[in-house]
Chains A and B, each alone.
Chain A
């Protein structure tokens, strides 16, 4: 965490840093660095464990309301203690390891999965002074740590010694690797625009307002908007969320790679899925939605971490909304969408970003030309590719059904 203070900022802005310094202030200087890191780790774990608990409840409540039913409302006031009840239930359940399973890998898989997803939280700037680890290649680190989850998913499938687990793990691998590509390609425009791989630098590049009202967030540029859309769809697939939750397609694969997991190991997988969703949302906020910057200059008095949280929660609610709406894709539709639609779009988007960067000095009426060309480059491929995406492949006729 950086401690450099900028002048005339409120005490609230620095409150988390001050709290940390107050906690570790009594320690001698050499031990303070270690203690500070530990405090940050504990804080991240606590905050995201709370977010996870609240998110499971919010998801069930919202899904319920979308389906015109109240959702959990029995435990505590309006069902607010439901996550606690779920946690207790998961803890006291029997932990079953199949006899044929590889016990070491079977145990290790959820741990590795959760560790990898927690590691991604390290580089996200949560506020002006709240960057747990300042890395020059934060973006690279984020995606490297995020990709380690694929290994854990396959570990779970292989170690379970169950045909459904293995099949689902192979599906999951195919899906995760397919969507890794558009996910990475969609962030290239951001790197082009910011000129840095550092998360702090990317957020700093999005500061300021045009005409005092429109923030310089990348989502308000043609290439940024397209990149944001591609990033969010790929992030949905990367975190195994509906409509890309094929690895746990219960109608075909029991519970996918979670089939042989019970009790708290299952809860860890569940937690990792939500953490993956949180990390993707946090990164999307950082890359495209201006990070912790306030949307209007007058709102800068509100602490930066509040703005980050607001955008972050909005994206999470979007994830839940999409889950409440979309049916699950078939495996061939899933990979077709990745390779024939998302990857070409993301590649074209890099071209759009290059054009956008090169035409930065254009002014006056040329500005309009710049916007028209960039918008055309972003929307044209979408329309054209979308038209050919399912031509000749549907609707299917089932002759023997």
Chain B
């Protein structure tokens, strides 16, 4: 009969109206700035640079300015300038470091290709999404200082992935140490120059 559908519809809206007052499963709104929902671990938006020491982020960047990410980046939002000098990395090996490392997050499309191609696990995806700025030219251009975040932060936002990366790096570090000891034992009188050392072995995984 005409009108029964209308009455059913009215019943549905009435049920929702009443239900939203006593049923938390219906009433799912989070009052955002005051309350926050936990982000899923797989959530990512823009890249950041991993550093090993929280107290000296610039000195312990894993990035060696190899510029692979810069070349691979589809929208070309990464800009890197190599340093002129070298400094030791986590394995004690002398490496270049990025004198300038800029990411324009107004251009970045969050594809994660930079993370995939990095041989040093130096760049990872961040979860910070409150990045509004009053000036889009400077406010959205993140430099080295803004991008560098400690490994502990990486562990906090992506625990599974960070554990994998750490395990891999530990294996590499152990291999590099063994190699260094062997080299030291072989040529005891004259220590090999650091620059001639082999690069860390590629990860097995």
Which residues of chain A have a CB within 8 Å of any CB of chain B?
62, 65-70, 321-322, 324-326, 382-383, 385-387, 389
Contact = CB atoms under 8 A, between A and B. Distances in A.
Given A383-B1, A386-B2, A387-B2, A67 B10 contact: no
A66 B13 contact: yes
A65 B9 contact: no
Contact of A325 (B3, B13, B19, B29): B13
A67 B14 CA distance: 10
B21 A68 contact: no
B10 A322 contact: yes
Interface in B1-20: 1-3, 6, 9-10, 12-14, 16-17, 19-20
A326 B1 contact: no
B9 A66 contact: no
Contact of A386 (B1, B9, B12, B13): B1
Contacts of B153: none
B12 A62 contact: no
Given A65-B20, A68-B20, A69-B29, A321 B2 contact: no
B136 interface: no
B26 interface: yes
A66 B13 CA distance: 6
Contact of B12 (A69, A325, A389): A325
Contacts of A62: 17
A68 B26 contact: yes
A330 B27 CA distance: 32
A78 to B, nearest CB: 12
Interface residues of B, number: 18
A175 to B, nearest CB: 19
The binding surface of chain B is classed by DSSP as helix
A387 B2 CA distance: 7
A351 to B, nearest CB: 20
B28 interface: yes
Contact of B21 (A65, A321, A383): A65
Contacts, number: 46
Given A66-B20, A67-B16, A68-B27, 13 more contacts: A62-B17, A65-B20, A70-B29, A321-B10, A321-B14, A322-B10, A324-B13, A324-B17, A326-B6, A382-B2, A383-B2, A385-B2, A386-B3
Most buried by A among B1, B2, B9: B2
A389 B3 CA distance: 12
Interface string B119-155: 0000000000000000000000000000000000000
Nearest to B27: A68
A66 B17 contact: yes
A6 to B, nearest CB: 40
Contacts of B21: 65
Contacts of A68: 16, 19-20, 26-29
Interface in B72-98: none
A349 to B, nearest CB: 16
Contacts of B17: 62, 65-66, 324
Most buried by A among B3, B13, B29: B13
A268 to B, nearest CB: 30
Nearest to A229: B3
Nearest to A74: B31
B109 to A, nearest CB: 31
A326 B5 CA distance: 10
A389 B6 CA distance: 15
Nearest to B26: A68
A62 B17 CA distance: 7
A379 B6 CA distance: 17
A384 to B, nearest CB: 10
Contacts of B19: 68
7 contacts: A62-B17, A68-B19, A68-B26, A68-B28, A325-B12, A325-B13, A389-B2
Nearest to B18: A65
User: 4 tightest CB-CB pairs across the interface, nearest first?
Assistant: A386-B2, A325-B13, A325-B9, A65-B20
A322 B20 CA distance: 18
Contacts of A321: 10, 13-14
A325 B6 CA distance: 8
